[in-house]
Amino acid sequence: MTDFIHRFEPATSAGSPPLLLLHGTGGDENDLLGLGGMISPGSALLSPRGRVLEHGMPRFFRRLAEGVFDEEDVRRRALELGGFVADARKQYGIAVPIAVGFSNGANIAAALLLLKPEVLAGAILLRAMVPLSDPPKAELGGKPVLLLSGQADPIVPASNSAKLAALLSEAGARVDHKVLPAGHQLSQADVTLTRNWIGSVEAKAA
C-alpha cells in the first residue's frame, strides 16, 4: 500500500458511506475521527496523515506562502493520495469514499476531485481554496459536493471559495456552497450541516 500512516475504523452500519478524513495543517490521522463519527455514525473511516512536513507540522502538499501553493507538488501528492485510497479500498473492502477535508485536507480533496475524480464519491470541503490555478478539465458527473466557508475566514477570501464552487459546478458536480458566520475554525453549524447533507446523500443513494 502507498506509504501513508493512517487509521482505519470499519463500518458498523451497512448503509453508511465510507469517509476519507483529511486533516488540516498540523493535524494527523487521529484529528477528524471524532468528527467522522458525529457526522456519519456507522461509516467506515479512513484517515491518512499528510506526508509533507512544514516546520514539523504534517500537511498534504507543500506551499510557498500562506495561500500560495506549490502546484506541481499539489498534483503529485493528489495522485499519491489517490493511489493510497485505491489500495486501501482493496485492503479493507470499502466502497468509493466521500472525502471530508478541513483546510489543507479540503484543498487536497478538491485537487483529487479535479485530477482523479473516480477516487471519490463526493466531498465535504470545509474552508477550502482553489487548489490549482490551471486545473484539468474534469468530468464530475453529478458528484455531490458540500462546500462550507467562513464569512470571517482570515485565510480563505470569499472570492476564492466562490471561484472553487463555480469551478466544481462547471465540471459537473452538484455543489451546495454555504457561507457561515464563522472564521477558519469549525463551528457547531459545520457539524450540523454536514450531518444533514450526508443524510440527504444517503437517502438519494438508497
153 carries an active-site annotation: yes
DSSP output for 6-60: EEEE--SSTTSPPEEEE--TT--TTTTHHHHHHHSTT--EEEEPPSEEETTEEES
184 carries an active-site annotation: yes
For the beta carbon of residue 71, count every other beta carbon within 10 angstroms. Answer: 18
Per annotation, catalytic residue among 28, 73, 184, 187:
184
Residue 205 · residue 189 · CB < 8 Å: no
Per annotation, catalytic residue among 40, 43, 153, 190:
153
Per annotation, catalytic residue among 40, 43, 47, 103:
103
Find the helix or strand (DSSP H, E) in which 177 lies. strand 174-180
SS3 assignment, position 203:
helix
* Residue at 197: amino acid letter: W
- Which residues have a catalytic role annotated? 103, 153, 184
